[in-house]
Amino acid sequence: MKKSIVIMLVLLGVSYCLHALSVPKTEVTLVIDSSAGMEDELESLQTDFPKLFAELQKGSPVPQIRFGATAYRDQGDSCVIQSFKLTDDPEKFSANLKDIEAFGGGDTEEDIAAALQSALDDMDQNGEPSSERIIFLVGDAGPHSKSNDEKQEYQKVIAALVDAGVIVHALACRTISPQGATAFQEIAKATGGKFIHLAYCQELSTTDKEIRFSVSQVNRSLIVSPTDLWREGIDALQASGLFYRNPPKPGRGYDSGEYEFTGNVRVENNAADMILTCLKTRLQSHSVRFPPPFDHGENVEIKNSFNGSYSGVTEARREAVKSQREWEAVWNEIHRIRMPKPELPEVDFEQDMLLVAFLGQRNTGGHNIRIVRALDTKESRYALIKETKPQGGMVTMALTQPYHIVIVPRTDKPVRFVADQ
């Protein structure tokens, strides 16, 4: 009996050690432009970081993450670089973020090269060699690049980041110049990161005092019913079926009094949400699992479906279709090169709606996309998407553009398209 208990305790100890070893170690540094004009983005990060950290703690196994920050301005400002060392204490990091103030700057370029080098130096000096390193660059201006020396300095820093295996996700703010966006894209591509334009949201009220959200991202804008889905960007809004209308043309809307801004003058942005999304995606690639938001959702009946491999739609796309006009447009787009065109299936849009998923173009057959389930939660409807690749064997060597469409009961909830895990 005693021997059995000892063996069991040893096995539990080994299991615990293996679990501890499997927990990914990640070091994350926020490199933030803290010049004048960055107040909104800085406030978003300061306000939303506790929520971000709490979401990461839901991972299984719980990821081990240390956070640091490097705030930068421009050469000649009283404080060009402000660094905060990596820490695993979320309260300390939150306090560090709140110590950053936006001021200075004044031109269209900032000392990004010095900021990135400072962040890399802190990771080298205070980090752990076995940890994965990630930088989030958040700014509204590009690096100094007027002289050859400045360009070479920036390229030198990028090369150092690549050599160190640091992933840089570049988050571009709304006022970034085309040159700045190009520089952000360059560093994200070179280091295996993502380039993301942030989305911005502000409350409006209609003439009958109904609340709407004005959401903008790059050169696109939408007016939508209130929803936190805007935090995922305009593509997610357009796919959701919650889309309300494009902003009015000049001379109408804001100018004519059809809409007016509410007393809530703060313009929110999704910087913290994009950071959370990138971190979750990376951690999931290391076998960290996060509970899906639809854990307690109710299954939605899929009444009928349509699928094919040749839609002619070359870009990945998701959308919720709620009207006959939208359905005709989708059907005509899929079958625009077929003669005769298949008859449009009937859909009762008083009772039903369509969920549409396009995979985008692939070089061969064997690729597929399926809406495998639909679930309703209190706040949203979720469409679970499964993508598959060729598993060996013979496939057609033609270009394919797989798609899947399902008919489901109509809902006024926003639709969220998510990967089926």
CATH number at residue 51: 3.40.50.410
pLDDT > 90: percent of the chain: 51
Contacts of 10 (CB under 8 A, 6+ apart): none
pLDDT of residue 208: 62
- In a domain, residue 1? The reply is no
* Sequence letter at residue 59: G
Residue 188 phi, psi (nearest 5): -65, -45
pLDDT of residue 102: 85
Shared domain check, 309 and 162? no
Q: How far apart are CA 320 and CA 243, in angstroms?
A: 10
Shared domain check, 65 and 188? yes
Structure tokens that stand for 370 in this block? 């399926």
pLDDT above 60 for 10: no
Output the average pLDDT for the chain.
Answer: 85
Residue 302 binned pLDDT confidence (cut-offs 50, 70, 90): very high
Residues 215, 242 contacting (CB under 8 angstroms): no
Q: How far apart are CA 415 and CA 374, in angstroms?
A: 10
- Which residue is it, tokens 């820093």? 157
pLDDT of residue 20: 45
Torsion on CA atoms 375, 377, 381, 384, rounded to nearest 10 = -40
Residues 220, 200 contacting (CB under 8 angstroms): no
- In a domain, residue 392? The reply is yes
pLDDT of residue 251: 38
Whether the bond between 340 and the residue before it is cis, its omega within 30 degrees of 0, is yes
pLDDT above 60 for 65: yes
32-47: average pLDDT: 90
Structure tokens that stand for 378 in this block? 């209190």
9-16: average pLDDT: 47
* Sequence letter at residue 416: R
Structure tokens that stand for 350 in this block? 């008083």
Q: How far apart are CA 421 and CA 403, in angstroms?
A: 19
pLDDT above 60 for 387: yes
* Sequence letter at residue 15: S
pLDDT of residue 146: 80
Residue 324 phi, psi (nearest 5): -60, -40
Shared domain check, 145 and 26? yes
- In a domain, residue 245? The reply is yes
108-118: average pLDDT: 88
Q: How far apart are CA 37 and CA 373, in angstroms?
A: 44
For residue 279, the enclosing domain spans 18-198+270-284
Domain end residue (candidates: 284, 317, 344): 284
Shared domain check, 180 and 96? yes
Shared domain check, 165 and 113? yes
pLDDT of residue 406: 97
Shared domain check, 244 and 193? no
- Which has the minimum average pLDDT: 239-253, 325-339, 349-363? 239-253
pLDDT of residue 253: 42
Structure tokens that stand for 359 in this block? 């995979």
204-233: average pLDDT: 80
- In a domain, residue 357? The reply is yes
350-367: average pLDDT: 93
pLDDT of residue 78: 60
221-229: average pLDDT: 81
- Nearest 5°: CA angle at 90, between 160 and 101? 70
- In a domain, residue 115? The reply is yes
Shared domain check, 252 and 142? no
pLDDT above 70 for 401: yes
Shared domain check, 345 and 393? yes
Shared domain check, 313 and 274? no
Between the ranges 138-147, 286-295, 350-359, where is the mean pLDDT highest? 350-359
Q: How far apart are CA 344 and CA 326, in angstroms?
A: 12
Longest CA–CA span in the chain (Å) reads 86
pLDDT of residue 75: 65
205-224: average pLDDT: 79
Q: How far apart are CA 60 and CA 48, in angstroms?
A: 22
- Which residue is it, tokens 């679930």? 375
Q: How far apart are CA 86 and CA 122, in angstroms?
A: 8
**Number of domains, the chain:** 3
Shared domain check, 63 and 124? yes
159-180: average pLDDT: 94
pLDDT above 90 for 209: no
